[in-house]
Structure 1
Amino acid sequence: MDISVLSRVDAIQPKSVTKSYTPAEVTKSFSAYLADALDQVNQAQVESAVLADRFAAGQVQDVHQVMIAGQKSTIMLQMALQVRNKVIESYQEIMRMPI
């Protein structure tokens, strides 16, 4: 039996090495994700208000566009509130854990 074949198997290295992130990097990216999500909710609220104002002034004829923007901003706000509620609930649960 030829053992030289086994020496070639040891030389195989994985091509991609997974990067390990520090807790500070994970926290920073998570906080950046939340900030971006809240900015998107705010932008949807502003867009909805602008379209409603333009519709009231008679500048927008398509009521469907106004209603869709309003519903989109409402759903985004409700989602943000539910995420906030789950985060608070998780924090309270962690604080109740015995050490």
Structure 2
Amino acid sequence: MTRRNRSGSIGFIVDDLNPMLRGWFNYFKHAYRTEYREIDGFIRRRLRAILLRHNKRKGLGITLDAHCQWTNAYFAELGLFTMHEARVLACRPR
């Protein structure tokens, strides 16, 4: 799903990833709500690894520099679906 050697623009990858994340959320929304932050973090770490590879930056892991360069707000601007925010919105009284 998020192989680090995946090709294509990050916008295309996010667009491809969002339907899968929405499907997982809809399937598991009543069972595993405590895991959403961890899953969101994992997805963002994998996307940062893809961005590092696209920029030809070598390294063994995600550094603080990569986190500062591609913040959570950056991924929100790209339209990345986050399970934690979806859960908060789903639990909000109408």
Highest relative contact order (Cα 8 Å, sep 6+), 1 or 2? Answer: 2
Instruction: Name the TM tier (shorter chain).
Output: 0.3 to 0.5
TM-score between both structures, scaled by the size of structure 2: 0.34
Larger-Rg structure:
1
Of Structure 1 and Structure 2, which has the larger fraction of its residues in helix? 1
